[in-house]
Copies of this chain bind each other. A is one copy, B any other.
Amino acid sequence: MAQQTEAPRRARLSRDRVVLAALALADKGGIESLSMRNLAKELGVVPMALYKHVANKGDLLDGMVDIVFSEAEFPSDGADWKTAMRQRAISMREALLRHSWAIGLMEGRMSPGPANLRHHNATMACMREAGFSFRTAVHAYNAMDSYIYGFTLQEKTLPFETPEESGEVVQTKAANVAQTMGAWADEYPYLAEIVVELGKAGFDYAAEFEFALDLILDGIERLLQQA
């Protein structure tokens, strides 16, 4: 009783609490703001207390990445492969936008978590059961994931804003570009076109994502028809 009122804000630590707090911290301030020391402060604890619940910072990142996988939809049994793959891609982009620090960490970690395994297995299952050969399914999976990771990687850093937002950031970059181009602006007319046109109209990331996604899905569909 006395203990409970003495430190009411300091619930017992656990691996889940540590990993979820780390995820929230990275979402808010970016991966570079996630330090063991900052995380400890956020949890009202001394840095070393964390090491009772995660082995080290890499183990912490493993846990965070698996939460991101758990947020991405995966194909359910018997779904039409093309709509299932389309939905998977859109859902994965959304999860990666919510947690953009995760993009470069999704495939590289050596200890994949349960959500990771479930996701990859379900995606391969969907393609194989739709009639794709093993090798063609690998090609198709590679094409889609490379596109998803690459698109979100750019989306996270590109300065072009969505049509709804102001063009403030674009104008900063445009100013920098103009400065760098200096007197040679005439040398780069097509680059100027991009800066001007996308600065004016904005950049609809969701529509842009789906454009090339459908281009790739149509290409994959053709592989199935040939086989």
Please give, as numbers and ranges, the residues of chain B lying within 8 Å of A151 by CB-CB distance.
Answer: 142, 146, 150
A206 at the interface (CB under 8 A from B): no
> Contact size class for A?
35 or more
A85 CB, nearest partner CB in chain B, Å: 14
Residue from the set A108, A134, A147 with the largest chain B CB neighbour count within 10 Å:
A147
A41 at the interface (CB under 8 A from B): no
> A108 contacts B190, CB within 8 Å?
no
Establish whether residues B191 and A120, one from each chain, have CB atoms under 8 Å apart when the complex forms: yes
The smallest beta-carbon distance between A115 and chain B, in angstroms, is 11
Q: Which of B121, B149, B153 contacts A189 (CB 8 A)?
A: B121
In order of increasing CB-CB distance, the 6 nearest A-B pairs are: A150-B150, A108-B157, A143-B212, A146-B150, A124-B190, A149-B150
Residues on A facing B (Cβ under 8 Å)? 103-104, 107-108, 110-114, 117-118, 120-121, 124-125, 128, 134, 138-139, 142-143, 145-151, 153-154, 156-159, 172-173, 176-177, 180-181, 187-191, 193-194, 197-198, 208, 211-212, 215-216, 218-220, 223
A120-B191, A134-B193 known, 4 other contacts, Cβ within 8 Å: A108-B157, A138-B208, A145-B150, A146-B154
